[in-house]
Chains A and B, each alone.
Chain A
């Protein structure tokens, strides 16, 4: 069960990611990314992070990607033209990425002591017998030890909203559109 689930949804992840690269129209890329995010949510479940799985769906797939989609539609960006690519990007970038991947893989495969994920054994509070769920554990730590960062992030979001509104208003940044 665990293995199947893993293979299926990891496959979806990779397929979606590759598709993101291969598609020319941004809307297609956006939809592929939604597939990736949802698959990742399932993988989180497999790893015992239920709250995060839910948050992933709600926040990422449900809000951020919708925002992306709206912007794509707003700007009416069409298919990409086939222009000359950046030579530096391909010549320097690809080997670097390959090297990066190789090194990471090497590290991962040679790390000893990694456990195996067993379905159903997530992170739960050790002490509380009544309410032992991942959510309880997470929220206990979040609202006790890390209350300040939590509040700060809410302020951050507020600032982001303000910034986004200010930037995207018509009349702001109206420079010469001719290029």
Chain B
């Protein structure tokens, strides 16, 4: 095969997944806006999804892909509820800065 028709080693996919995950954690740590933090979480989830699909290819197990399916469903539900919570918090605190939202009592 030519250079560009080579097969991509699966380890590269996994590395990409690890990188994306780390970037997600970093984002979680350094971002101040609550919504952006939430988005970093979504990024982490996607990274994990990628690694699941990779391994599904590796072991030829469709259950890996089914798991990704379920992760997507749950992530969607989580996003919905989480954003609703953010809206509620914004109504109470009038701020979306993570550092300012540090009390349980609204």
Proximity string of chain A (136-162) to chain B, C-beta cutoff 8 Å, 1 when within and 0 when not? 011001100010010001001101110
Taking a contact as CB atoms under 8 Å apart, the answer to whether B4 and A49 are in contact is no
0/1 interface trace, chain B 70-103, chain A, CB 8 Å (1 if under): 1011111111110111111111111111011000
Interface residues of A in 61-93 (CB under 8 A from B): 63-64, 67-68, 71-72, 74-75, 77, 80-81, 83-86, 89-90, 93
Q: Which of A44, A98, A111, A149 contacts B11 (CB 8 A)?
A: A111
Q: Give the chain A neighbours of B68 by CB distance below 8 A.
A: 49, 52
When the two chains form their complex, are residues A114 and B11 in contact, meaning their CB atoms are under 8 A apart?
Answer: yes
Shortest Cβ distance from residue B47 to the other chain A in the assembled complex, whole angstroms: 9
Q: How far is the CB of A105 from chain B (nearest CB, A)?
A: 6
Q: Specify the main secondary structure of chain A where it touches its partner.
A: helix
Q: Say how far A40's CB is from chain B's closest CB, in angstroms.
A: 6
Given A137-B62, A173-B92, residue A115 in contact with residue B10 (CB < 8 A): yes
In the complex, are the beta carbons of B11 and A108 less than 8 A apart? yes
* Nearest chain B residue, comparing its CB with the CB of A75: B90
Q: How large is the interface on A (under 10, 10 to 19, 20 to 34, 35 or more residues)?
A: 35 or more
Q: How many A-B residue pairs have CB under 8 A?
A: 268
How far does the alpha carbon of A91 sit from the alpha carbon of B86 in the complex, in Å?
Answer: 27
A51 to B72, CA, bound (A): 12
Residues 22-39 (chain B) with a chain A CB within 8 angstroms: 22-27, 29-33, 35-36, 38-39
Residue among B9, B62, B80 making CB contact with A114, cutoff 8 Å: B9
CA distance A40 to B48 in the complex (A): 11
Q: Which residue of A lies closest to B20 (CB)?
A: A17
> Would you call B18 and A43 a contact (CB within 8 A)?
no
**Beta-carbon contact of B84 and A168 below 8 Å:** yes
Question: Judging by beta carbons under 8 Å apart, are B4 and A3 in contact?
Answer: yes
Q: Could you tell me if A149 and B30 are in contact, using CB atoms closer than 8 angstroms?
A: no
User: When the two chains form their complex, are residues A104 and B18 in contact, meaning their CB atoms are under 8 A apart?
Assistant: yes
Question: Nearest-CB distance from B79 to chain A (Å)?
Answer: 5
- In-complex Cβ contact of B33 among A67, A74, A80, A100 (8 A): A80
Give every chain B residue within 8 A of A156 (Cβ-Cβ). Answer: 73-74, 77
Among A18, A56, A74, A160, the most chain B Cβ lie within 10 Å of the Cβ of A160
Q: Do B96 and A157 touch across chains, with their CB atoms under 8 A apart?
A: no
A-B residue pairs, 7 tightest by C-beta:
A116-B7, A160-B77, A167-B84, A164-B84, A175-B106, A175-B92, A173-B88
